C-alpha cells in the first residue's frame, strides 16, 4: 500500500496548497496547478513534459 511505502508522501490539499494555486496564473489547468503548488510547498522537482508547467518556471522540472 502507498500509505506504508517510504517512496511516497501523502500530502493533504490544505489551505497552503489552495492559496499557492491561486498564484500560479501561468498554469491554466486546475489539476496541474494543484500538482505544481504541492511540489513548490514540498521544495520538490516535478517529472513532467507538460509545456505550460515547464514554461511557467514556477517549479524545478526533470525530464
| Predicted TM-score of the model (pTM) | 0.88
Using CA atoms, how far apart are residues 38 and 11, in angstroms rounded to an integer? 8
pLDDT at 57: 97
pLDDT at 48: 96
Q: Which residues span the domain enclosing 52?
A: 2-62
Among residues 8, 40, 10, which one has the least CA distance to residue 24? Answer: 40
- 26-45 confidence digits (pLDDT tens): 999 999 999 999 999 999 99
Q: How many domains does the chain have?
A: 1
Amino acid at each position: 500500500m502507498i500509505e506504508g511505502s517510504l517512496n511516497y508522501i501523502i500530502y493533504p490539499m490544505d489551505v497552503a496548497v489552495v492559496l499557492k494555486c491561486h498564484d500560479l496564473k501561468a498554469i491554466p489547468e486546475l489539476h496541474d496547478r494543484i500538482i505544481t503548488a504541492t511540489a513548490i510547498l514540498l521544495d520538490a522537482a516535478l517529472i513532467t513534459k507538460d509545456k505550460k508547467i515547464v514554461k511557467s518556471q514556477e517549479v524545478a522540472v526533470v525530464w
